Amino acid sequence: MKAVRFHEYGEPEVLRVEEVDVPVPHEGQVLVRVAATSFNSVDGNIRAGGMQGPIPLDLPHIPGLDVAGTVEKLGEGVDGLRVGDPVIGFLAFADDGAAAELVVVPAATLAPAPTSIPLVDAAALPVVGLTAWQALFEHADLRAGQRILVNGASGAVGGYAVQLAAAAGAHVIATASPADADRVRARGADEIVDHTAGDVTTKVGEPVDVVLNLAPVSPDQLAALVTLVADGGVVVNTTVWMPAPSDEARGVRGIDLYVRSDAAQLTELAARVDRGELTVDVAERATMADLADVHTRAAAGGLTGKVVVTPVA
């Protein structure tokens, strides 16, 4: 089968399409025929070698944390899945990923794919959808009537966070550029703050209960966000190379989010897509042969939305 691999850490050029052996599912695993994976920013950090400490890899490595596809073969002891089932999942960071025609996945990490959108596009849901869900409901304990600032609302995670927070009955304040404002508002934001027009902290009127930071801000900008949070509130931060700020005197917690795979949460997200309660945004479809270019454009800040990546024809 064809797969993208890198044999050493480095620039995007280390990504190459190669012929590799078809993996074999063992006990508790399934073989999935890949419809698509997607690009996540952490993919670039892993490829470049910036995550060797927390995520040691056996090289060569196949990237691709998201998978959408159909069950091709069942390993021993797998119940609840059948060959041909459409599924989605968030793969383990250290395992070979889904930038391939076929991938082996632990059955327990898979969820039924949404049926109301193309299976290829469903690859845009797992990692970023789970990041938004866990930030809001596990770490921030967001509830109806609370006020939340989503800093970086126009990005892939931000789009889901705005939708989920609005559906939970929160008052959503979202940062976005003028070019993205209408799209973010359509996802459910109650207020838009133009982050290109000055300091965000001067543009939020009343205190918020939750700040969700998804933006690549400076350390000083991140630290300033805690001043927007009411006593007893929380800052959830996904830029984990900078610790989330806190204010112990006021009971404001700072939480660094490390997303994890969760099939039950992913099943709920897919169900919301099928009920018309959650929109999956895909900006671009590419093939595995284009993956090095996707990494290059991402490193240069040239990606404007979620890219799904399909196997080479």
**DSSP calls for 136-203:** IIIIS---TT-EEEEETTTSHHHHHHHHHHHHTT-EEEEEE-HHHHHHHHHTT-SEEEEGGGS-GGGT
What mean pLDDT value characterizes the chain? 94
Contact by Cβ (8 Å): 100, 4: yes
Residue 176 CA to its chain's centroid (Å): 18
Q: What percent of the chain is predicted at pLDDT more than 70?
A: 99
The tokens for 121 are 């596009």
At 105, give phi and psi (nearest 5°).
-135, 140
Q: What is the pLDDT of residue 101?
A: 98
Domain boundaries, the chain: 2-125+280-310, 128-256
Q: Look at residue 138 and tell me whether its pLDDT is greater than 90.
A: yes
Mean pLDDT of 231-244: 90
Q: Look at residue 76 and tell me whether its pLDDT is greater than 80.
A: yes
**DSSP calls for 51-120:** TTTTS--PSSB---SEEEEEEEEE-TT--S--TT-EEEEE--TTS--SSBSEEEEEGGGEEEPPSSS-TT
**DSSP calls for 199-266:** -GGGT--S-EEEEEE-S---HHHHHHHGGGEEEEEEEEES-TTSPPP-BGGGTBEEEE------HHHH
Mean pLDDT of 141-156: 94
Exposed/middle/buried for 82, CB within 10 Å: 0-12, 13-18, 19+? exposed
Domain 128-256 is of which CATH architecture? 3-Layer(aba) Sandwich (3.40)
Q: Look at residue 50 and tell me whether its pLDDT is greater than 90.
A: no
> Cα angle vertex 127, ends 1, 187, to 5°?
125
Give pLDDT tens digits for 19-44. Answer: 999 999 999 999 999 999 999 989 99
Give pLDDT tens digits for 179-198. Answer: 888 999 999 999 998 887 67
Q: How many CB atoms lie within 10 A of CB 242?
A: 16
Cis peptide preceding 12, ω within 30 of 0:
no
Query: Domain 2-125+280-310's class?
Result: alpha beta
The tokens for 6 are 């890198």
Instruction: Return the C-alpha torsion angle 69, 66, 6, 302, nearest 10.
Output: 120
Q: What is the pLDDT of residue 200?
A: 81
The band of 234, judged by pLDDT with boundaries at 50, 70 and 90, is: very high
Give pairs for 179-183: CB < 8 Å, separation 24+. 180/153, 180/154, 183/154
Contact by Cβ (8 Å): 45, 52: no
Q: Are strands 147-151 and 29-38 parallel, antiparallel or unpaired?
A: unpaired
Sign of CA dihedral 110, 112, 114, 120: positive
Give 301's contacts (C-beta < 8 A, 6+ positions apart): none
Q: How many CB atoms lie within 10 A of CB 190?
A: 15
pTM of the entire predicted model: 0.94
Mean pLDDT of 205-222: 91
